[in-house]
Structure 1
Amino acid sequence: MKFMEINGVRLSRLIMGTGDLSKLNGTDMLDTYVAAGGTTIDTAHQYRRAETIIGQWMTEKGNRNQMVIMTKGAHHNDGSPGPRVNAEAIRKDLFESLDRLETNYIDLYALHRDEPGTPVGPIMEELNLHLSEGRVRAIGASNWTHQRIQEANDYAQAHGLSGFMFSSTNLALAVANEPRWEGCVSADEQASQWHERRQLPLLAWSAQAGGFFTGLFSPEDRTNSDMVRVYYNEDNWKRYERAKKLAESKGVTALHIALSFVLNRPFPTGAIIGPRSDAELMDSVKAMEIELTESEQEWLDLKREELAV
């Protein structure tokens, strides 16, 4: 397992996602993940049952101090109607998450969605209040564009506050045609360059592109409408073929290559994964050991025609 640090929080770069509750059945997958060296669990106020299960599991195991919890709040479609990226909703969601997780602090706290046009000042003031009072150890933005994160961080700097310390957007070798869910953001080339210049960590969700590189999909098979809508395009099939070719030369799988692409970016990255079995989890752990050269990454991402020898 490999690790990174965000504002003094040491976290495993392979992060267990909990959006799909079936993966938490009996918490066996959490036990397997910890046994493999993982420390970081991604959840959200909107994943109500997941937060409760995680909280009970940590209490039963007595392992809260060994775990890094990332949770999110202020989702626009989470209970109360109307805009929710505001101080009141942030406060409400945070305290409810703390209660469900049976803890008095969150290691990594992110806003789940953005509402572009909402003034960033009150948002950063509220998040900094919880930082100063120890309820959260690091603040971040999930599904905010890099322009909005920059706007918020500029405000924070001008007012003696802490800015966003990490981002969590989609980042994968397969480039999304459109948002997978309403309000989601993918890191495009401009965003990646921005992260590289600032070295701001990016914790990527759908880092394996929903299983696009597993070999379970093909251009002819259009039965999975979500995969077709989000990932089916000519360039992504080229990326898949190149991932298979590079995988063969390294004795691994195309899925290993796709995940290692995310973990070998020129800025700090973590990958949020959703394994459906112990074998899939250990496959992801194996991918962490693969080193990709800049040339290999550019070739995989169709930025060069030939793979340098």
Structure 2
Amino acid sequence: MEYVEFPGVATPVSRVVQGAIGLFAHDDPARFAMLDAAVEAGINTFDTAVNYAFGGDGVDAMLGRWVRHRGGREGIVFFAKGCHPKLPHWDRPRVNLDAIAEDIDLSRRQIGVEQLDLWMFHRDDPAMDIGILVEAVNAAIDRGHIGAWGVSNWTTARVEAAVEYADAHDLRGPVANSAHWSVVDQLDEPWDDVVTLTGAHREADRAWHQERGVKVVAWSPLAGGFLSERIGRDELEAATEGHLADTARCYLNEVNWARRERAAEVGRQHGLSLSQVALAWALHAEFQPLVIAGNASVEEVEQSTAAERAELTADEVAYIFSG
């Protein structure tokens, strides 16, 4: 497993990050076994958020039970997120000083840790003054409540404004931006106010992140299951509601389908599944993103770590994308 260092985060971070989505459908023993397997395989970083909940429980609280089950968090890195809108006011921005303090404290309390390694704004509110936000998270760092901070689903312009404000005021700027990154273009937003870095027309955005040292933490590298053999084209074209319909709306066109076919072809040559090639392709990007893998079983953990070890040539990476 390859690891990267983040300013303010004491432990090197695995480039494959265990996502929360695979944790929703199981009871604690099954989840604990899968999380333990992830650590054993080299995945030491876990993505969570205060609004990730299932059946009244939340991922933060479940991770807290797992930490206690393990007897401590040594070597474990938590990427937590907050300031997401809350039901029933899903359409109202919730990026403010009260929400920052509330959500940082809630995640710390539920996970059972003094410090969150990295805390990210889950959404943005462009109406909020960038300096107020930068100063608030720097105060949380000074209190020892978070080690570093970042953002999720912020435009490059807003991330750049945060970096510039931090530099000008001798403060710590954002070290990470969690955005969509995948071999297939995002044709429509799967949720409101999300940001993608896919596609040739966003090359300048990706280059900026690389030049400024703001790491990209890629969500949905499998494009909502579009890059999985479990979903066929007939199913996508026939879907009128639910997850499959959303996946078709966001990713199904001829260009993306051709990339999927070429990825599957390269996978057969390497003895890898389509999903594994999609993960490997995302990891092979020049700007060296981390990828969030929604592993839901020990077997999927093994598949994701095998994908991280896969060596695609530059020609194969280009062929999958462009033909």
TM-score, with structure 2 as normaliser: 0.88
How has the CA–CA distance of structure 1 residues 203 and 277 changed in structure 2, closer, same or farther, with 3 Å as cutoff?
A: same
Letter in 2 for 1:12: S
Instruction: Indicate how the Cα distance of structure 1 residues 78 and 70 shifts in structure 2: closer, same or farther if over 3 A, else same.
Output: farther
Q: Which has the higher contact order (CA 8 A, sep 6+)?
A: 2
2:115 aligned partner:
105
- Whole-Å Cα distance in 2 between the matches of residues 213 and 263 of structure 1? 15
2:104 aligned with 1:94: yes
Cα contact 1:172–1:207 (8 A) shared by 2: yes
Match for residue 286 of structure 2? 266
Instruction: Decide which of 137, 140, 143 is 1:127's aligned counterpart.
Output: 137
Match of 1:137 among 138, 143, 147: 147
Corresponding residue to 1:178 among 177, 185, 188: 188
- CA distance in 2 between counterparts of 1:79 and 1:102 reads 28
In structure 2, the CA distance between the partners of 1:242 and 1:122, relative to structure 1 (3 Å rule), is: same
Aligned-partner residue type, residue 176 of structure 2: F
Equivalent residue for 1:193, pick from 199, 207, 211: 207
| Cα distance in 2 for residues equivalent to 1:78 and 1:36 | 37
Offset at residue 186 of structure 1 (A): 1.0
Deviates more, 1:194-203 or 1:129-138: 194-203
- 1:291 is displaced (CA, Å) by 2.2
Kept in 1: contact 2:207–2:287 (CA 8 A): no
User: What is the 5 A alignment of 1:50-129?
Assistant: 50-77=59-86, 82-129=92-139
Match of 2:259 among 239, 243, 248: 239
Q: Tell me, yes or no, if the aligned pair for 1:200 and 1:267 is still in contact at 8 Å.
A: no
Structure-2 residue corresponding to 1:45: 50
Instruction: Give the C-alpha shift of residue 240 in structure 1.
Output: 0.7
Paired residue for 1:11?
Answer: 13
> In structure 2, how many angstroms separate the alpha carbons of the residues matched to 1:248 and 1:3?
27
Moved more, 51-60 or 219-228: 219-228
Q: In the aligned structure 2, how far is the partner of 1:47 from the partner of 1:32? A: 22
For 2:233, give the aligned amino acid.
Answer: P
Q: What SS does the corresponding residue of 1:187 show, helix, strand or coil?
A: coil
Shift in CA distance, 24/39, structure 1 to aligned 2, threshold 3 Å? farther
Distance in 1 (alpha carbons) for counterparts of 2:176 and 2:5: 10
Structure 1's unaligned 5+ residue stretches are none
Mapped partners of 2:26, 2:155: distance in 1:
29
Secondary structure at the aligned position of 2:149 is classed as: strand
CA distance in 2, matches of 1:216, 1:260: 18
Structure 2 residues without counterparts, runs of 5 or longer: none
CA contact (8 A) 1:171 1:186 kept: yes
Distance in 2 (CA, whole Å) between partners of 1:79 and 1:59 is: 33
Q: Alpha carbons of 1:150 and 1:23: their partners in 2 closer, same or farther (altered >3 Å)?
A: farther
Per-residue Cα deviation, 1:128-156 (whole angstroms, up to 9, x for no partner): 01112221111100111111100111111
Residue 230, structure 1, aligned to residue 230, structure 2: no
Q: 1:86 to 1:98 in 2, by over 3 A?
A: same
CA distance in structure 2 between the aligned counterparts of 1:130 and 1:145, rounded to whole angstroms: 23
Q: Give the letter aligned to residue 234 of structure 2.
A: E
Q: 1:255/1:134 Cα in 2 relative to 1: closer, same or farther (>3 Å)?
A: same
Instruction: Give the CA deviation at 1:167.
Output: 0.7
Counterpart-to-counterpart distance in 1, 2:27 and 2:189:
26
Aligned residue pairs total 303
**Would the aligned equivalents of 1:179 and 1:230 in 2 still touch at CA under 8 Å?**
yes
- Evaluate the alpha carbon distance shift between residue 166 and residue 24 of structure 1 in structure 2; reply closer, same or farther with a 3 A threshold: farther
1:214 corresponding residue in structure 2: 228
The CA RMSD over aligned residues, in Å, is: 1.9
Give the counterpart letter for 1:180 in structure 2: P
**Aligned-partner SS, 2:180:** coil
> Which deviates more from structure 2 when the two are superposed, residues 230-239 or residues 58-67?
58-67
